[in-house]
Amino acid sequence: MAKKKKSVDYSQENIIFTMDKKQEKLMRFMPDVQAVELKCMEPGSKGTHEVAFTHLPKEIKQLVKPLKGK
């Protein structure tokens, strides 16, 4: 039986959106914990941070579609 992926990589798709007055880029979706990894695109910021999938804007949720295939 195939192993379930631990995360889905979206870093190559260049999905950038505004959340809390900051430009964020979607890097990875982790279906097992229903969270996404975001990278802040503001000048001077480094690294990534995790946010619950439910906190994303509706347009971004439709691009990710975590329940597809169940």
Distance CA 23, CA 70 (A): 31
Mean pLDDT computed over every residue of the chain: 86
Full-model pTM: 0.79
Average the pLDDT over 32-40 and give the result.
92
Strands (E), the chain: 8-9, 16-19, 22-30, 35-40, 48-52
pLDDT value for 7: 86
Distance CA 22, CA 3 (A): 36
